[in-house]
Amino acid sequence: MDGDDEISGQMIDEIYANGGEETDQRSRRAIMSGDQLDIEAYAALYSGRTKIMRLLFIANSSKNPTVQLDALRMAYDEIKKGENTQLFREVVQKIDAFKQEWCTLQTVG
């Protein structure tokens, strides 16, 4: 049984993006190692609204403030490329709320 656990552990340690038949380096970059998610590598797999929605999902679902802010920042950058002003305002409000919460924690702590 130890051999099976070792093999499954190796498969879980690194998840690679499916690049189809592409052989470029970006498609073989590890996006997850252990419990850490590489947001930039994950987001690079998508474009447009899908990329934005996945980044917002990560920001809303993550319990790690650094991951939340990184995902919001990347969503903000992607939204600026388009014309969806409502979504842009929502992301800016989330970033502002995040900053206010962080500043409050810094003054209390």
- Domains of the chain: total: 1
Neighbours of 71 (CB within 10 A): 24
- The alpha carbon of residue 92 and the mean position of all alpha carbons in its chain are separated, in whole angstroms, by 17
Per-residue model confidence as pLDDT tens digits over 4-42: 444 444 433 344 444 444 445 555 555 655 456 789 999
Residue 28 near residue 63 (C-beta atoms within 8 A): no
Provide the pLDDT confidence category of residue 47 given band limits of 50, 70 and 90: very high
In the structure, what pLDDT confidence band is assigned to residue 65 with cuts at 50, 70 and 90? confident
Query: For residue 61, is pLDDT > 80?
Result: yes
**Helices 48-61 and 85-108: angle between axes, nearest 10 degrees:** 20
Yes or no: say if 39 and 50 are a contact pair by the CB < 8 Å rule: no
The DSSP H or E segment spanning 31 is strand 30-33
Q: In this structure, what DSSP letter does residue 32 have?
A: E
Q: What is the pLDDT of residues 87-103, one digit of tens each?
A: 999 999 999 998 888 78
Domain that holds residue 36: 2-108
| pLDDT-based confidence at residue 109 (cuts at 50, 70, 90) | low
